[in-house]
Structure 1
Amino acid sequence: MTVTTPSCKPFRVIIAGGSICGLSLALVLEKAGIDYVLLEKRDIAPQLGASIGFSTHGVRIMEQMGIWDDIRAIINPLQDYGHYEADGTLFYTSQILPEIRKVTNRPQLLMSRQTWLQVVHSHIKDQRKIHSRTGVASYTQNDEGIVVTADNGETFEGSILVGADGIHSITRSLVADEVEKVDGDAKAAKQMKEGFAAHYHCIFATSKNEYKNQPGKPIMPEANVADFSGKDHCGLVAAGMPGQLFWFFYLKSADITNTPFIPKYREEDAEEAMRVYGGAHVGPECTFKDLWDARVSSNMKALEEGVMKTKWSRGRVVLMGDSVHKVNTPPISPDELQRTETAKCTINTGLGGQLALEGICNLTNGLVELLKTSPSPSSGEITQVFTNYETKQRPRAEWAMSISGHQTRMESQANWIYWAFGRLILPRLPDWLMAVGTIKSIYVGSPCMEFLLRPADILPPQKTTVSAS
């Protein structure tokens, strides 16, 4: 179905950004029969040394996208979870991932970001709508539509512009400029540009699952996950794909910085971090230095965090994905920590990727419903769809920021409360209880695409308790 206006111009979405959020949105819009064009300033699916994780609900959305069979064929569904001391002593083990899968019939996964993007890209039927090496430079909008000018001079006409171009979003910066110059709201514009803070930085890397000096000897069993906690630093590794390890090493930054003034890190910085901390174990034999030596690709970046406080849209422009919410949150007070569900939900791998997919569901559901009754919607009708999307998405984003932030601070022992929880309470919680909390918090009530066949839902959460007791 192609939705047309009385002037025979199709309702058209211009997508800025071709990474996780933007490319997924393109595929979903194609399935919804809504015309679009995607502009990505770099190549599609570059190798950045990064991985991407998804929760069980993210898998449910992948089923609707039609990509799950391809993804399932190339991943190791994550299973055993081990928590280690820096000297390699096993602190405790967890079976929360198998418990969650038992109820949802879907796994938790961690895989190559590049591979995931390649799979999504391969499922898009009309590749002519994907424009790589074409970034957004500016836009103009009015009551009739929006015109985007690319950095190569090309212009693209559409009905709305979706800024899915990441934490350093050009689209968000352009909206902020418009808010300041046209609306005269300098405070809101400043918040949009500087509202994300970095308290931590991280090495993201992919390594071969074999020791550099002992070819053929696996560093860790397939499908296993392991982590380690230290003062102001922590790390995690997962054997998420056959023969590959995806790992993260988090370090607390010396200073808190804000966008757009967040520092960039070089290879030398990562090498220095491994020189100082590489001896930390993430298994009985494996150290992070072993992972570093076996690396295929790596990158060190600041961990920007936060949810944009100002409105996520203006006129015919709407922001989504990392351009408005980025996992990890600023430190919170001890009493707030005690009020959260961190005790029930500590496995947060995949919240960032999941938020992107949830935002796509919330926005596209609204567009599909609007275009059924108003093929040529007014600016006011579009604004209402954007408002509804933000109303549904913002609480999920703020919750995910809180959970992810708590876990980072617990694993890096940010204060004595986080230390006590991670060392004394968490190991004593039964896996089934943590699984129930995770399912309740992440899975139940999360959105799907209402215009596509809805995958089978999970069993009622209370049945988990009965079967595990």
Structure 2
Amino acid sequence: MGSQKRFRVIVVGGGVGGLAAAHAFEKAGIDHIVLERGEIAPARGASIGIYPHGARILQQFGTLQAVDDETYPIERAKNFLPDGSLIANSELFRFLRQYHGYPIPVLERRRFLEIMYDGLSDKSLIKSHSKVVDIIDSEDNVKVILADGTVEEGDLVLGVDGVHSLVRSLMWRNANAAIPGFITANEKKTLHADYSLLIGFSETGSHMSPSDLYCTHYDGKSFLTIGGKKHTFWFVFFKNDRVHWPALPKWTQADAERRAAECMDCPISETQVFGELWKTAIRTELVNVEEGLFEHMFFGRVVLAGDAVHKMTPNIGLGGNSAMESVVVLTNLLHKAIQEHPEGKPDKAAIQNLLHEYQKDRQVRMRQFIDFSSLATKIQAWETTWYKILSRVIPFLPDDTFAKQASILFKAAPKLDFIPVPGDLKGSVKWDDDVLEAKYRESFPRPSISDWVRSMFRYTFKPALSLCILWVFLVIRSSKASEATISN
């Protein structure tokens, strides 16, 4: 290779996606640096849940055991009405563990970031308090300018700097400067919020099992409460009028306290009201619940992953797992391209080709995740009468109904394809990338949007319609019985 520099990736953002990228690039032997504007593992956010497809990636990183040691896996999901009465007690999470072999832990987000950071071999590649102010994209390289005047030079910039991504804005600017109108006003408005979210965690009490998840339905509002080994995590969703970027509001702690005051006497289970959690809260925050999938995930030598480009509502908890997925897909493509080039440095044409492939892969899969998450948000908060009906029908379905649908999504997930999964836990459902037989692939195809529509019709709409017809029949029969009684 002579004196030619190695292929280098500049990662902007030191959160879940950024630290996952550091692990993935470390495993792939790809030169990189991670720039975080603040501190690593800040005291922000509440929790992160790790589903089987994310757990398999963490197993490759070598951090899964430390995550599992922090908490108990979620096993049961219970649903409650506004009066606190129980309407569903589901074994969903046990089925997912049976299908894929991995438990589903939920832990404090900051602790997760600490585990990810501690698991890195070379921590000198993680630079905190490194604020990016500009990106200069050229034919031969890309330069990232920091607030202190430092210039980082590389071959690719990976923006995993969250929903308010500066990298995304700079990429848009560079794209429209090079090709006027490339990024349209409509694409910039992709990101929107229909809900705000009060998040926090409290001291673990005796009010719920550390392996339970509670969902409490209200009209235009919902509560999610998750038991943990050390903390109880909670989320309160409020339906608002839709707002698009860049007009998303900024909430203050006073706003959080005002929202909390509205909910103090709201039951969240048969024995507890929200005010009991609020009294023991360790940290709270009011945020927007943004969602959106951007059309362009890259331009030039800049590519995006995570919330910066595929933001989903957090009701199911797929966001962090999706960020890790995207990082893995990109790493696999980069590793292959570097191996295929004799000097280990793909040219710009090769980079563009692999970024197109990355975008094509992510667009399809992230659309499924975003739609799935959005549906859960609407059902849980009874956004309309129809979603309210669905929430009452779902408890009558077998516990494995939604576990099977989720499993179809999870088993199609990527992993690092150039190293094994050490001690891979096996479930009753095989991962797509572990299966070569065409017969099995045909029996479990990757789900499309039409698949989801058919599944929802089969498992939800048809039962809902049947129950509605039954309800009308019972009302009519009751009415006739009453008339007969009166006439007698």
When normalised by structure 1's length, the TM-score is 0.88
Look up the equivalent residue of 2:399 and give its one-letter code: D
Greater C-alpha Rg: 2
**Deviation of residue 419 (structure 1)?**
1.1
Structure 1 match to 2:285: 299
- Asked if structure 1 preserves the Cα contact closer than 8 Å seen for 2:165 and 2:308, the reply is yes
**Deviation of residue 63 (structure 1)?**
0.6
SS in 2 for 1:137: strand
User: Which is further off, 39-48 or 107-116?
Assistant: 107-116
- Asked if structure 1 preserves the Cα contact closer than 8 Å seen for 2:53 and 2:413, the reply is yes
Residue 416 (structure 2) pairs with residue 449 (structure 1): yes
Q: 1:132 aligns with which of 121, 128, 133?
A: 128
- Asked if structure 2 preserves the Cα contact closer than 8 Å seen for 1:176 and 1:192, the reply is no
Structure 2 match to 1:434: 402
Structure 1 match to 2:235: 248
Matches within 5 A, 1:241-390: 242-253=229-240, 255-309=241-295, 311-328=296-313, 349-374=316-341, 375-390=344-359
Structure 2 match to 1:87: 83
Matches within 5 A, 1:198-277: 198-210=193-205, 218-240=206-228, 242-253=229-240, 255-277=241-263
**Deviation of residue 372 (structure 1)?**
0.4
SS in 2 for 1:251: strand
SS in 2 for 1:261: coil
- Asked if structure 1 preserves the Cα contact closer than 8 Å seen for 2:22 and 2:32, the reply is yes
Q: Distance in 1 between matches of 2:288 and 2:407?
A: 30
Structure 2, unpaired ranges of 5+ = 431-439, 444-488
Residue 157 (structure 2) pairs with residue 152 (structure 1): no
Q: Distance in 2 between matches of 1:150 and 1:29?
A: 22
- Asked if structure 2 preserves the Cα contact closer than 8 Å seen for 1:54 and 1:349, the reply is no
User: Which is further off, 107-116 or 272-281?
Assistant: 272-281
Structure 2 match to 1:420: 389
Structure 1 match to 2:459: none
Q: 2:27 aligns with which of 23, 31, 36?
A: 31
SS in 1 for 2:248: coil
User: Which is further off, 99-108 or 25-34?
Assistant: 99-108
Q: Distance in 1 between matches of 2:8 and 2:220?
A: 47
SS in 2 for 1:277: coil
**Deviation of residue 434 (structure 1)?**
2.5
Look up the equivalent residue of 1:133 and give its one-letter code: H
User: Which is further off, 261-270 or 161-170?
Assistant: 261-270
- Asked if structure 1 preserves the Cα contact closer than 8 Å seen for 2:264 and 2:274, the reply is yes
Structure 1 match to 2:468: none
String of CA shifts for 1:122-160, please: whole Å, max 9, x gaps.
Answer: 011111111111121112122221111012211101111
String of CA shifts for 1:187-231, please: whole Å, max 9, x gaps.
Answer: x25345432001100011011013xxxxxxx22122111110111
- Asked if structure 2 preserves the Cα contact closer than 8 Å seen for 1:176 and 1:190, the reply is no
Q: Distance in 2 between matches of 1:196 and 1:387?
A: 22
Structure 2 match to 1:173: 169
- Asked if structure 2 preserves the Cα contact closer than 8 Å seen for 1:179 and 1:189, the reply is no
Residue 2 (structure 2) pairs with residue 15 (structure 1): no
SS in 1 for 2:379: helix
Look up the equivalent residue of 1:90 and give its one-letter code: L
- Asked if structure 2 preserves the Cα contact closer than 8 Å seen for 1:173 and 1:192, the reply is no
Residue 33 (structure 2) pairs with residue 65 (structure 1): no
Look up the equivalent residue of 1:426 and give its one-letter code: I
Q: Distance in 2 between matches of 1:134 and 1:122?
A: 19
Look up the equivalent residue of 1:228 and give its one-letter code: T
Look up the equivalent residue of 1:315 and give its one-letter code: G
Q: Distance in 2 between matches of 1:156 and 1:163?
A: 14
Look up the equivalent residue of 1:357 and give its one-letter code: M
- Asked if structure 1 preserves the Cα contact closer than 8 Å seen for 2:10 and 2:156, the reply is yes
SS in 1 for 2:59: helix
- Asked if structure 1 preserves the Cα contact closer than 8 Å seen for 2:137 and 2:174, the reply is no
Q: Distance in 1 between matches of 2:112 and 2:210?
A: 19
**Deviation of residue 109 (structure 1)?**
2.4
Q: Distance in 2 between matches of 1:452 and 1:146?
A: 29
Q: Distance in 1 between matches of 2:73 and 2:312?
A: 23
- Asked if structure 2 preserves the Cα contact closer than 8 Å seen for 1:6 and 1:376, the reply is no
C-alpha spacing 1:234/1:299, structure 2 compared with 1 (3 Å): same
String of CA shifts for 1:318-350, please: whole Å, max 9, x gaps.
Answer: 111111011039xxxxxxxxxxxxxxxxxx633
Structure 2 match to 1:342: none
String of CA shifts for 1:52-107, please: whole Å, max 9, x gaps.
Answer: 12211111111111101111111110012111122221112111111211221112
When normalised by structure 2's length, the TM-score is 0.85
- Asked if structure 2 preserves the Cα contact closer than 8 Å seen for 1:172 and 1:192, the reply is no
- Asked if structure 1 preserves the Cα contact closer than 8 Å seen for 2:328 and 2:415, the reply is yes
User: Which is further off, 201-210 or 264-273?
Assistant: 264-273
C-alpha spacing 1:96/1:108, structure 2 compared with 1 (3 Å): same
String of CA shifts for 1:367-419, please: whole Å, max 9, x gaps.
Answer: 00000011121101001111111111111111111011111111111112211
Look up the equivalent residue of 2:214 and give its one-letter code: A
Q: Distance in 2 between matches of 1:180 and 1:144?
A: 19
Q: Percent of aligned positions with the same letter in both sequences?
A: 28
- Asked if structure 2 preserves the Cα contact closer than 8 Å seen for 1:328 and 1:401, the reply is yes
Q: Distance in 2 between matches of 1:413 and 1:358?
A: 30
The CA RMSD over aligned residues, in Å, is 1.9
SS in 1 for 2:262: helix
SS in 1 for 2:415: coil
User: Which is further off, 283-292 or 191-200?
Assistant: 191-200
Q: Distance in 2 between matches of 1:77 and 1:427?
A: 22
Look up the equivalent residue of 2:235 and give its one-letter code: F
- Asked if structure 2 preserves the Cα contact closer than 8 Å seen for 1:99 and 1:432, the reply is yes
- Asked if structure 2 preserves the Cα contact closer than 8 Å seen for 1:138 and 1:174, the reply is yes
